Amino acid sequence: MSKLPPFPANFLWGTATSAYQIEGSPLADGAGPSIWQRFAHTPKMMVNGDTGDVACDHYRRYKEDVALMRELGMKSYRFSIAWSRIFPEGKGRVNPAGLDFYSRLVDELLAAGIEPMATLYHWDLPAALDDRGGWLNPDIAEWFGDYAATMFRALDGRVKLWATLNEPWVVTDGGYLHGALAPGHRNYFEAPIASHHLMRSHGRAVQVYRAEGKHQIGLVVNLEPKYPASQSEQDLAALRRADAYMNRQYLDPAVHGRYPEEMKEIFGSAWPEWPAEDFALIRQPMDFIGVNYYTRNVTRHDEQSWPLKASPVKQTQATYTETGWEVCPQAFTDVLVWVKKLYGDTPIYITENGSAFYDPPNAPDGKIHDPLRIHYLRSHLNAIRAAIAQGVDVRGYFGWSFLDNLEWSLGFSKRFGLVHVNFETQQRTPKDSMRLYSRIVASNGTVLDDEGE
């Protein structure tokens, strides 16, 4: 008999995707270009020159995809809205065809008995706004608020779960500090500004929702718990910097109305002093925190690592995914308990969790056997149960990802999907991990107690 508690009776089970990674047709029906459309078409920025021009062709195949979700027993689906489909110029004129696409998608989900969760921003800023400075322009909080209001008026009621931003840390670290992601900047001084305006925009969208919406809204952050490589003061200081930069930089202002003290140490003269009224805007009451978890980080002091002076230590006796991330379910439990300790009893949704492993070709039986992903799924769902046993209020789980998709600058070279996609034929094939997940959902997790699974 398992010592772990069952999942709550009303636990919300689903999968997640994002617009640019799966939709394709990025300029269809009057949509404007996004920064990812530009970035993907910039030479040498994407593995194999891959782009999201077709991706999973979900824009045209969404009915088939929703039918597959229904067949597989999914209870919920987290998707993101492409801002530039709604506002081709980023602000001002609304594109009715863009609104209509998401309205039809939501109606299709509801008709299938699937609860939608909509994310307003998953990295694909309208290129027209990037031309005006993008996340470096303080006006963007109002632009984002206007976009959010448009979506709330169109969909709230049919959509009852909203997320403002997905992983603001990735937006700034990859897009403004290291240049590996759109818009491809590498600037020490820009990163704190972009982060701050992202958080101001989050606050503005929550404000708007309190006026326009009637249900729930929250922020989605990616958390990577840090552990010290040793108990030396240098390693412990490196851990504090790494933890502040990745894990507390966004939750601290959203919940407590301040940035971690370590941010000044990390950025020095590039760290601005922000007015108090900005924190009053950022610190809006949230209905939930969305946690994206993939891996942990064992941290050591490293003078050569910019800007944190901290770097990860590879673990010799550990499994790593194809993206180089250590598989560590215990750290998942730890970080959920940490969120409760630092940020109180705000409900949590696991808005992303998954793994990229090599998928062998179809077996003779036509199936795709992915035992490493199955082990990852089982162990991480049990890690959530262990956190629930310690009093963490976890309300739902969205496996990343429903479909194999464009893994940003890594192109189609890494597969996170529970459903395999043949990118030449667009054929969808549920993997063994998806078949198991269907049984987990149908049993509300009790299948995890069956040793034979």
Q: Which residues are catalytic?
A: 167, 352
Q: How are beta strands 428-430 and 419-421 bridged, if at all?
A: antiparallel
Residue 242 in contact with residue 297, Cβ under 8 Å? yes
The tokens describing 433, both together, are 């991990």
List 218's β-bridge partners, or say none: 163, 288
Within 13 A of 155's CA, how many CA atoms are on the CB side?
A: 33
Distance CA 148, CA 444 (A): 33
First-last CA distance in the chain: 15
Distance CA 225, CA 355 (A): 17
Q: Which residues contact 82 (CB under 8 A, 6 or more apart)?
A: 19, 20, 23, 26, 31, 34, 98, 124
Give me the helices (H) in 283-429, please.
Answer: 329-343, 371-389
Handedness of CA 114, 118, 123, 126 (dihedral sign): positive
Report angle CA 207, 211, 212 to the nearest 5 degrees.
Answer: 110
Residue 34 in contact with residue 24, Cβ under 8 Å? no
Distance CA 138, CA 201 (A): 9
- Count the helix, strand and coil residues of the chain and give each as a percent rounded to the nearest 5: 45, 15, 40
The tokens describing 334, both together, are 């730890």
Other CB atoms within 10 Å distance of the CB of residue 371: 10
Report angle CA 68, 215, 440 to the nearest 5 degrees.
Answer: 35
> Residue 221: which of 313, 343, 134 has the closest Cα?
343
